[in-house]
Amino acid sequence: MVNLLVKDIRKALEKELYFVALSAALTLPDICGKAEYPDEKKDGRRYRMWYDKYIGDYEKCSSNEKLPCPDGNLIYKLRCALLHAGNPSIEGFHEENKIDITHFILITQKSNEFDFYGDSYKIQEDESFCEYRMNVQRICTLICNVAEIYYKENQNKFHFDYNIMELNNDEVEYRLYDEISRLNQERKEG
pTM value is 0.78
Looking at residue 26, the DSSP 8-state letter turns out to be T
* pLDDT tens per residue across span 29-75: 999 999 999 999 999 999 999 999 999 877 766 666 666 667 888 88
* pLDDT tens per residue across span 112-128: 676 666 666 566 666 77
Instruction: Provide the 3-class DSSP secondary structure of residue 104.
Output: strand
Consecutive H or E run containing 122 = strand 120-123
Query: Region 136-157: what's the mean pLDDT?
Result: 94
- The 10 Å Cβ neighbour count of residue 81 is 18
Where helices occur in 55-156 by DSSP H, the ranges are: 72-85, 136-153
Q: Is the pLDDT of residue 97 over 70?
A: no
Beta bridge partners of 121: 132
What are the backbone angles phi and psi of residue 85, rounded to the nearest 5°?
-120, -5
* pLDDT tens per residue across span 163-183: 766 666 666 566 666 667 777
